[in-house]
Chain A
Amino acid sequence: MAEILVLVDHADGAVRKPALELLTLARRIGEPTAVVLGAGEAAASIAATAGEYGATTVYVADGAEFADQLVVPKVDALTQIAKDKGVAAVLVTSSGEGKEVAARVALRLGSGLITDAVELEAGENGPVATQSVFAASYQVKSAVSHGVPVITVKPNSAAPEAAPAAGTIENVTVAFTGNAAKVVSRTPRVSTGRPELTESAIVVSGGRGVGAAEGFAVVEKLADSLGAAVGASRAAVDAGWYPHSNQVGQTGKQVSPQLYIAAGISGAIQHRAGMQTSKTIVAVNKDAEAPIFDLVDYGVVGDLFEVLPQLTDEIGAR
């Protein structure tokens, strides 16, 4: 079977969940192999995890370049491996950096590029990707018609399924091309202990109705009772109540969790563009006319400061 090359995103020495989703999707269209870049001593354990999720071979490359320069070293590595191994497709996680890496790899391979796929299936002429566009009002199915398909896939597009394979490590020496921006310093984001917004199965978001930065405490308490990530609408972020890194929407993060709970969010197009692909949507809002109620599976017209704590207590009691 043809090799489907998966770039394995990792952080703090561990595989990030979206990479396991990519390996799961890759099995639908071919034989998954994995690429692990700049993981240092963690490479072996990351490779082992990739093997558990179906990677027959794991290509490992290390070097200071991966940390010291922006994007280009990863492009160099992925392009080189894709060419040497004659792969049938390249899959990358749809993060800011992932999309940039994929784009440059596509250009170097002379290949078409599809970003932000939410579904992937085998087609007559290679993989067919589904994208959700225009604030999720349309579903577009596309295929790459030229070169080796390079596709980025949004987190939460598939549930990771273990499928043990050899996971044989093959070390790769990369010829770096340079001409990259220098990373002068890197400050890891302080962990809140909550799941990453784009990767979390459940997201609880607060908006203008939360009223103040302190108001987010009820949102956070509910999120913690569900093991959820916390999101915020643009209005709440612009007001300075919550960090931009947590903004859900067109100019923030696009999330696609199993469950999305919107508290005090009206549901303007800017916000809908970031959350409308969520599987189940719940809203709590005082305004019965808020457009968010057009999207919901379940809505409560009420004061979030009454409803959320009661819900949190109920969850705690179960």
Chain B
Amino acid sequence: MTLRIAVCVKYVPDATGDRGFADDLTVDRDEVDGLLSELDEYAVEQALRISEESDDAEVTVVTVGPDDAKDALRKALSMGADKAVHVNDDDIHGTDVIGTSAILAKALEKTGFDLVLCGMASTDGTMGVLPALLAERLNLPQVTLLSEVSVEDGLVKGRRDGDAATELLEAPLPAVVSVTDQSGEARYPSFKGIMAAKKKPVEELDLDDLEIDADEVGLAGSWTLVESVAARPARTAGTIVTDEGDGGKQLAAFLSAQKFI
């Protein structure tokens, strides 16, 4: 039996660019280049490792996003994923995380899977809730925020390093897994991988294919409402001194004046 691994990935604005908002208060995607969310590279990496450990496995990357989101899929395919699914529809623009989880859940059901792998959070919204929402929608165990993950005998096992404790977790497949940046360095695509990716299949789906009404998603279907967006006021220039033997003392005086000491 083929182990079907689906990896959910996101195309995000490059954090080193000047990220901002469009007039409708959604993320402005025109001003900044996009790329595969760095934290999703770790999910792709773990999917590939699990696939390599398994006799027969297939890795499908799935994304919801505009035309350019293909770049994120291509990156994952060039790392070694087998095929891709791209949910793309103008009506999706402005969808919040609850709506995105509904779209992804339908896409995953249509694609078929034994294991869903996600990064711990996107690097733009950084909410970190999508894996939990998928588990809830798909009625599957969530095995999330893992720094180590393995699949054996129909079980997914992992280690979760929380604030208070380290937990060893276990659940039967199918399950939803998310991994942290501690799970293992993501591989770089090889030249061969980049060339091979061009020939790998990318399935295009729209809302009709997933039997989702347009009014369930997008800005209108969002269950949250952004009231205002404001650039943070520039910090007033701080005091900067050069240490000439008494830098620590001067810093102490500042901290004392601010009542920290």
* A residues whose Cβ falls under 8 Å from a Cβ of B: 11, 70-72, 75, 95-97, 99-104, 106-108, 111-116, 123, 128, 132-147, 179-189, 196, 198, 202, 226, 244-245, 250-251, 254, 258-259, 269-270, 273, 280-282, 284, 288, 293-303, 306-315, 318
Q: Contacts A107-B137, A185-B167, A298-B238: A138 and B247 contacting too (C-beta < 8 A)?
A: no
B188 within 8 A of A: no
A186 to B170, CA, bound (A): 12
Q: Contacts A100-B129, A146-B223, A306-B247: A300 and B163 contacting too (C-beta < 8 A)?
A: no
Q: Cβ of A103 and Cβ of B222 under 8 Å apart?
A: no
Residues of the B chain whose Cβ atoms lie less than 8 Å from the Cβ of A141: 226-229
- Looking at A244, A270, A280, A311, which has the most chain B CB atoms within 10 Å of its CB? A311
Q: Cβ of B248 and Cβ of A308 under 8 Å apart?
A: yes
Q: Cβ of B167 and Cβ of A142 under 8 Å apart?
A: no
A301 to B240, CA, bound (A): 7
Q: Cβ of B252 and Cβ of A300 under 8 Å apart?
A: no
| Chain B proximity of A245: nearest CB distance (Å) | 6
Q: Contacts A184-B169, A188-B165: A298 and B239 contacting too (C-beta < 8 A)?
A: yes
Q: Contacts A269-B16, A298-B238: A116 and B251 contacting too (C-beta < 8 A)?
A: no
| CB-based nearest B residue for A105 | B136
| Chain B proximity of A6: nearest CB distance (Å) | 18
B127 within 8 A of A: yes
- The total of Cβ contacts below 8 Å across the A-B interface reads 262
List the 3 shortest-distance A-B pairs measured between CB atoms, nearest first. Answer: A310-B248, A302-B243, A112-B223
Q: Cβ of B261 and Cβ of A179 under 8 Å apart?
A: no
Q: Cβ of B166 and Cβ of A202 under 8 Å apart?
A: no
Q: Contacts A70-B167, A143-B225: A137 and B129 contacting too (C-beta < 8 A)?
A: no
A254 to B121, CA, bound (A): 13
B35 within 8 A of A: no
Give B12-51 interface residues, CB cut-off 8 Å to A: 15-16, 19-21, 38-39
Q: Contacts A70-B169, A226-B261, A251-B39: A244 and B161 contacting too (C-beta < 8 A)?
A: yes
Q: Contacts A198-B163, A298-B254, A299-B240: A112 and B224 contacting too (C-beta < 8 A)?
A: yes
Interface hit among B142-150, B191-199, B207-215: B142-150
Interface of B is mostly: mixed
| Chain B proximity of A71: nearest CB distance (Å) | 6
Q: Contacts A282-B254, A311-B248: A250 and B126 contacting too (C-beta < 8 A)?
A: yes
Pick from A137, A140, A273: contact of B226, CB below 8 A.
A140
Q: Cβ of A138 and Cβ of B242 under 8 Å apart?
A: no
The count of chain B contact residues (Cβ–Cβ below 8 Å) is: 82
Q: Cβ of A245 and Cβ of B235 under 8 Å apart?
A: no
Q: Cβ of A70 and Cβ of B168 under 8 Å apart?
A: no
Q: Contacts A70-B167, A181-B170: A296 and B223 contacting too (C-beta < 8 A)?
A: no
23 A-B residue pairs with Cβ-Cβ distance under 8 Å, sorted by A, are: A100-B128, A111-B223, A113-B129, A135-B15, A137-B19, A138-B21, A139-B230, A141-B229, A145-B222, A186-B167, A186-B168, A188-B165, A198-B163, A251-B39, A270-B15, A284-B247, A288-B242, A299-B239, A300-B240, A300-B241, A302-B243, A308-B248, A309-B248
Residues of the A chain whose Cβ atoms lie less than 8 Å from the Cβ of B252: 310-311, 314-315, 318
Give B103-155 interface residues, CB cut-off 8 Å to A: 120, 123-129, 131-133, 135-137, 139-145, 147
A153 to B198, CA, bound (A): 43
A202 to B255, CA, bound (A): 12
Residues of the A chain whose Cβ atoms lie less than 8 Å from the Cβ of B126: 116, 250, 254, 273
Task: Other than A112-B224, A180-B142, A282-B255, give 13 A-B pairs with Cβ distance below 8 A.
Answer: A70-B167, A138-B232, A139-B232, A142-B226, A184-B170, A188-B164, A244-B147, A259-B260, A284-B247, A293-B240, A295-B238, A298-B238, A315-B261
